[in-house]
Amino acid sequence: MGCVVTIDVGAKLLTALRAGKTPQVHVTPDGGKVTAFSISLKSFGSAYDRTAALGKMTGANQSAPWGLLPQKVHRFMLY
């Protein structure tokens, strides 16, 4: 069981994610009950930078590591 959620993130939120420590995420599934959990952002900056570097190696758009996104918009997938 699981889900994939895509979120478009602008530069302001990306900066906040790089500076963050352990934000709390709230999700509301179909049943309507809110579930909250914390995630660690300890290595977020280096992981994001590595993804961008891999994108450059494969010829992807430098400002969007996944290559198919508009410039200055970043997409994250939560699994």
The tens digit of pLDDT for each residue in 47-79 reads: 888 877 877 766 655 444 545 544 444 445 444
Residue 67 half-sphere exposure toward CB, CA atoms < 13 A = 9
76 burial via Cβ count (<10 Å: 0-12, 13-18, 19+): middle
Amino acid 70: pLDDT: 47
If you average pLDDT over every residue of the chain, what do you get?
A: 73
Tokens 């959620």 belong to which residue?
5
pTM of the model: 0.53
Beta bridge partners, 78, equal 5
Tokens of 56: 């450059």
Per-residue CA distances from 79 to 23, 31, 50, 57, 59 (Å): 16, 19, 19, 25, 26
